[in-house]
Chain A
Amino acid sequence: MSAQKDRWVSSFSFLLFCVSSIPTRGSARLLQELSPQEYFGSLQAGRASLAYFSHNGMYLTIENSAEALQDYGISVVKVICPKEDVSRYCGKENALRKAYLFRGNMLIREFPTDALFDVNSIVANVLFALLFNEVKYVETLADLQNIENALKGRSNMVFAYVPAIGTAEHRAVMEAAFVYGTVHQFVLTTEATLLKDTGYPDVSSARLLFCHCQRATDLAQPCRRTAMGQALTMLNIHKHLKLMGAPLVTEVAEDPEKVSTVHLQLGLPLVFILSQKETYEADRRTAEFVAWQLLGKAGVALLSRYALRCFGGVPIKYLVLEDTDEVITLVEDKSKVEQIQEDEEEEEEEEEDEDEKENNNQVSRDKKRELPLEQILVLTEETFHSALLETARMVVLFYASWEAVSLAVLRSYTEVADHLKGTRGVLLSRVNCWDWPGVCTEENVTQFPTIKIYEKGERSVMYNGMWGTEELTSFIMLKIGTSFPSELSSYHHTSLLGVFSTATTREAFEEAGSILSGHVTMGMYFEDDALTLSRKYAVSPPAFLLARSGGQSVEGITLSKQNTQDMVQMIRYELLDIFPEITVQNLPRYLQLRKPFLIVFSDGDIGQIESKEMLKLTKGRPQQEFVACWLNLKKTPVGRGVLKAYFATMPSLPVLIWVNFHAGGQVFKFPSEQSITELNILSWLEKLKAGLEVPSTLSEEDWKPPLPAYDFLQMMETATPDPGGDTTTQEEPSQETKAEKIGSPGRDLRGTAPRLAAREKQGKRHSEL
């Protein structure tokens, strides 16, 4: 599947490349800087260019768009006006706030620079101006109908509605028009009422309709329309137009396995309708009917019966056609799953379920492939105790060889062993509790997997962190106090220094240290050193100094708690960042605060402005009732899944969201048209509090069993009726039908074993016995 995707993507980029190869003149810089004379002298007929005039090296967003516009043969030029120049473009003060679009030396349009606020708007506006003929702008239904009628029988129409000019959707439509403008007539509108009139009441998002006017013959009837289901992006539009351009029904006479249509290339299903010579005409009509229903969702092919030989390993489902609706529901159900969030969860379950199985399968595969386990010492009942004595520090993984989670962890463990290869003073080992239950019971291992670190002559410590390679490695490294291997240099650690003048709280601090060991580096100062330090950092002992990971500053915090548990709690709290990047690994730590999240989803690193504003927001208010944080979608791609669950389509990034996990589960989206500033956020939060915004809510669903189990009780009772009951008179269904009937809900427990031949005979034999 992904190969097909790739193929398609590459063909598309090839197309773009053809377009873009025209204008390149070998200049290394996309943005040219010319003097007015040079510029006007270089203008070629038919070539479009976007120019802005400037007296100095002022930077404008336009420069960013140079690359994008170059793809369409439009050069972006910065014209440096000499100081004394008072010509038409350089002279006037307000001309300097505009950009000019030329074709040849003809001025087509001037744009105020504030209309060109980002790359999307520049590309959209420039193309809109250039493709004046190809893209008709309409405002009323009558205009639309006129164009439609004119096109009937000649060519097809692409009708797009965008809520505003200069948006990403607008750009996508314009870019599509650039490529397809000569094939189809493009019509654009921003009028919400017009879209409503065409029968689409939801005007909040952009929409694109393909109108099949070429085939239309009846002037009185509007052309048949196929709406595009996905968000308006260039790729989606391209895909949609490609599908619309494909033949309605493909006739196939060859091996269906070898058939390749646009649909298959785009990863869409292809419905084969088997046909015979005698019924060809009727079948063809059926196929066309189905094809119209499925247009844009699936392809339809008419397959001559006699050509059918065998379908090798392709997972093809047969359906006896009783009603064409069945085909349509089948295909549409599939695509629904992708759109409806609820369903997505369900499906996630399905997959995870497989996932567990997969872990196991993985294992069985591993059995053949052999994990590189030679770094890890295998311990047995006999060798366990002696091995512990021989090594300064021994890390032991207790696991069960049949258990899926254990085996997943074992994989990470081998990676840890790899990281720690050659590290002195620590040895990694494992005990398979399925082979040696005695050791595991003795060591109080009640769960699989368990990792313990034994120090010679000291008590053992149970590892209680995430089961990941990085976390485990860093834990072990901190435990043994060695510097980190270079692969993990990104994994920073916080150091904590206790400053004490008396011995009272010191013991508690030491105990806290042993609880937190492996997570934080801890140290302690007392007496004279303590005095110096407390003066330096302006804290009075007992206190602790905190050097955050990667940070330069050291914070001094007074230790107000006396007992160990409270101290651990306090240290854990202090270890949390004020504006953290949320990752899969650290989310639970912040959730433990049981506060709502104010979270920025950012594609890549968070922007400096957002970061600054958010910090401002948090720093001023130490006792915040929410957690301000952000998420890097590049680093934590699952964040996209979160956004997709919140909004049917991906919102434009960065996006600020308020999630209240604990009470009510409301989710609010910060309005995208506002910029993320402290003030805006605060006023928005006020609005939320006042209940002025309508939230969406997190699913409240319970985690129910994903699939039913076999109801053996019922099977047994039907097979051997209760002697007390009156079920004896009731005629029993035969074993076979029972098995089928009952077996079907749990059919997903599939592939357990090949079906026993003559099952029903056995059933009879049972009753004879």
Chain B
Amino acid sequence: MAPAVCGMLLGLTLYTGHLCAVSAAAFLYHDYCVIGAGPSGLQAAYFLQRAGRDYVIFERSHAPGSFFALYPRHRKLISINKRYTGKSNSEFNLRHDWNSLLSHDRRLLFRRYSRDFFPDADAMVRYLEDFASLLKLRVQYNTAIVHVMLEKDRQAWNGHYFLLTDQDRQNYKCSSLLVATGTWVPNVVNFPGSEYVEGYETVSINPEDFAGQTVLILGRGNSAFETAENILGVTNFIHMVSRSRVRLSWATHYVGDLRAINNGLLDTYQLKSLDGLLEGDLEDLAIVKDKKGKLHITLRFYLENRNTSGGIDSITLPQDELDNFATRAPYDRVIRCLGWKFDFSIYNRSLRMMPGKGNKKKYPQIKPSYESRGTRGLFVLGTASHSVDFRKSAGGFIHGFRYTTRAVHRLLENRHHGVPWPSTVYPITQLTNSIIKRVNEASGLYQMFSVLADIILLRENATAFEYLEEYPVGVLAELEMQTGRKAPSGLFVIIMEYGRNFSGADKDVFYYNRAVGEAQHAWQSNFLHPVIYFYKHLPTEREMRLQHPDWPLPRPDAVHHIVEDFLTDWTAPNAHILPLRRFLENCLSTDLRNFFAESCFLFAFTHQKLPPFCRQGYMRLQGLVGSEGLRRHAVEAGLLEDYTLTDFLGDRTPDNHKGSQDRLLRDHMIPVRPLQHLVNAKDEL
């Protein structure tokens, strides 16, 4: 099969090549072009293939995942590969599998590729190769797209076609362009003496090469610490310089910040074992090499003022004026570990691929729907799309963008093929259940917290609802247009959130009483927990723009927090399910309780209207009869009335009536604390 396709492609290429000589207007056409066969490119291809779409991936290397063939240099991935969770729920288990891509093929789970909790990058390369080949994804290798431009055409999906040119001047024409190139251009800084700086890309990974050396590392991200970790044991000491303070992922709850596995240097710094961390702007820096080849840190300021001819001795060093200057000791090596940025160079100006602002300048500007701000029909996937949730959620990482990629695919299916966003319609009685099911197992909601949300669209009269999974919450206002579904009578938005003010580089995340245990204080939950927003009408664009910066969504008509849980198991009947049901009932102004058939029978005879559970169950001959034992128990507990017994005494025993009269009572009971130990245990959340 594959060779045949290749042959055909070749033939076509020859044919167009011939035409090219006459006019440059001949192109190979595909509906979808994907640039890059990395994780997000392959993930997008998987969905396109399953939907039977015409697509192709261009990969400049000879194999998928070329970035992982090189990086991380020290080969240890910091995405966890948790093989055991004690649960068999495959969706739930994906929450703790940060490397697998989404597919129906169970062979393509990462735990089959590595036994390591922090796997080797080679395993990822193998995995991506298998993913492409087992699923027979159409990847065109050894094709580096060097230029992308637009061709205006009214007939085109987006009013224009994308014209792509590869290194061999072969041209391709696409209706939709999915950019999955990641961020692979190393960030560099230019300062006097930066020619002495080695890059992370090329630096030796053999610790022996660093024996007895003094090293300065620029940067304070995971690559910088990973590099330091590798040589920590053999160097004299390591200093690390960056513009801002170190950000620890366990304090910020952002996986892109410094992970605990790499933080050996923090230890040695704080224990005064010679290593150290410094803050300073790299732009002000200058490096001077002395005759012995040692590198001295000075400031650009001094270099600008010196007389030109002096040589090393004429240069002022900071310690000449300030004799206890921190980095006065000379270094043997300076290593740059400043991360990567998106490759903007291949896009024609007409595409207006603009870098983001501030700390997002390494990413192209995109909308919350992952579509480029400059060009309709151009979607950015994968790491390059991280500007949407930079330093917030997981959109820059496999375990996050596998879901955002699926979301983009669903948007495209609706936009170009009239396939509305997949949804399931349930009777209203399943409302609580469907939410509980999702918040307990859904991985997309959990990883892409505050970015992807499940949407419940209520049907008229609230007798049924439609459930949409993992919709990008940033384009909530455009829901009807983007999904092809209607929201006539209000909606619920289910997302996961950390507590406001809980996460941050300078936050103490271990303070006493950081965990909330009671449902009534759920809104103060700090750890990741489900939040349900209720809107009577779809929020407008304007409301989306004006939303409070601390809130992921505009002000709802009502909101409910399910209290955080130590086990992230939100199935407790009293603490989780009951308050949720009450919230839903009050939003819908109905009664969502479950009733035994016998109660429905009584209601049918004594009420003109029935509660939804009876209407949709019992009245359709699906009543909950309940086993004899269960009913007997319910009667004993005073929950169901036993009419044979009641009649005997003529009226009921009054001790079951707790209710309105309670407000008359002032409870003077001494509070008991039988569960003191448990209360304390909660602090370990």
Residues of A at the B interface (CB closer than 8 Å) are 1-2, 5, 230-231, 233, 235-236, 267-269, 315, 317-320, 326, 329-330, 333-335, 337-339, 341, 345-362, 380-381, 400, 402-405, 408-409, 411-412, 414-415, 433-438, 446-448, 464-471, 584-585, 587-589, 591, 636-642, 645-646, 649-650, 659, 661, 665, 698-713, 715-716, 720, 722-723, 739, 742-743, 746-747, 749, 751-759, 761-763, 765-766, 769
Contact = CB atoms under 8 A, between A and B. Distances in A.
Contact of B621 (A338, A352, A588, A759): A588
A766 B560 contact: no
A404 to B, nearest CB: 6
Contact of A437 (B441, B523, B658): B441
A352 B659 contact: no
A704 B593 contact: no
Given A437-B441, A637-B644, 8 more contacts: A5-B648, A353-B593, A362-B630, A381-B88, A436-B90, A464-B622, A659-B605, A713-B558
Contacts of B427: 447
A267 B607 CA distance: 30
A231 B591 contact: no
B625 A469 contact: yes
Contacts of A233: 650
8 contacts: A352-B594, A437-B89, A446-B426, A588-B621, A650-B647, A698-B606, A705-B582, A713-B558
A709 B586 contact: yes
Contacts of A588: 604, 618-621, 623
B521 A756 contact: yes
B602 A402 contact: no
B69 interface: no
Given A235-B649, A434-B89, A638 B602 contact: yes
Contact of B654 (A338, A641, A723): A338
A360 B573 contact: yes
A409 B624 contact: yes
A641 B651 CA distance: 11
Interface stretch (B136-144, B185-193, B302-310, B663-671): B663-671
Contact of B424 (A446, A470, A704): A446
Contacts of B502: 769
B605 A712 contact: no
Contact of B665 (A319, A347, A402, A706): A319
Interface string B356-385: 000000000000000000000000000000
A357 to B, nearest CB: 6
Contacts of A433: 437
Interface stretch (B122-130, B325-333, B609-617): B609-617
B513 A758 contact: yes
Contact of A468 (B625, B652, B669): B625
Contacts of B389: none
B594 A359 contact: yes
Contacts of A329: 661, 664
Contact of B520 (A235, A645, A743): A743
A713 B558 CA distance: 6
B647 A408 contact: no
Nearest to A759: B521
A467 B518 contact: no
A347 B659 contact: yes
A739 B644 CA distance: 44
A268 B654 contact: yes
B340 interface: no
Contacts of A435: 87-89
A709 B585 CA distance: 8
Contact of B582 (A587, A715, A746): A746
Nearest to B520: A743
Contacts of B346: none
Interface residues of B, number: 126
Nearest to B582: A709
Contacts of A585: 597, 623, 625
Contacts of B661: 329-330, 333-334
Q: Looking at A469, A588, A763, which has the most chain B CB atoms within 10 Å of its CB?
A: A588
B669 A318 contact: yes
Contact of B608 (A337, A434, A698, A706): A698
Given A347-B657, A415-B627, A769-B501, A318 B550 contact: no
Contacts, number: 366
B1 to A, nearest CB: 28
B679 interface: yes
Contact of A640 (B621, B643, B662, B671): B643
B640 to A, nearest CB: 7
A448 B433 contact: yes
A380 B106 CA distance: 15
Contacts of A645: 602, 605-606
A760 to B, nearest CB: 11
B645 interface: yes
B625 A753 contact: no
Contacts of B278: none
B578 interface: yes
A550 B657 CA distance: 44
A639 B643 contact: yes
A587 B594 contact: no
Contacts of A269: 654-655
A749 B521 contact: no
Given A701-B607, A756-B513, A352 B595 contact: yes
Interface string B506-517: 011001010011
Given A359-B594, A411-B629, A661 B608 contact: yes
A236 B597 CA distance: 32
Interface stretch (B8-16, B200-208, B479-487, B631-639): B631-639
A351 B643 contact: no
A308 to B, nearest CB: 13
B622 A722 contact: no
Interface in B538-593: 548, 550, 555-556, 558-561, 563, 571, 573-575, 577-579, 582-583, 585-586, 589-591, 593
B88 A468 contact: no
Given A404-B573, A638-B643, A766-B501, A584 B625 contact: yes
A236 B650 contact: yes
Nearest to B662: A747
A769 B608 contact: no
A747 B659 CA distance: 11
B565 to A, nearest CB: 11
A469 B660 CA distance: 38
B457 to A, nearest CB: 16
A584 B607 CA distance: 16
B88 A436 contact: yes
Contacts of B507: 769
Contacts of A761: 513
Contacts of A641: 602, 606, 641, 643
A1 to B, nearest CB: 5
A320 B664 CA distance: 10
A349 B597 contact: no
Nearest to B620: A588
B607 A698 contact: yes
Contacts of A412: 625-627
Nearest to A410: B627
A351 B626 contact: no
A404 B630 CA distance: 12
Contact of B664 (A319, A464, A661, A713): A319
A699 B651 CA distance: 21
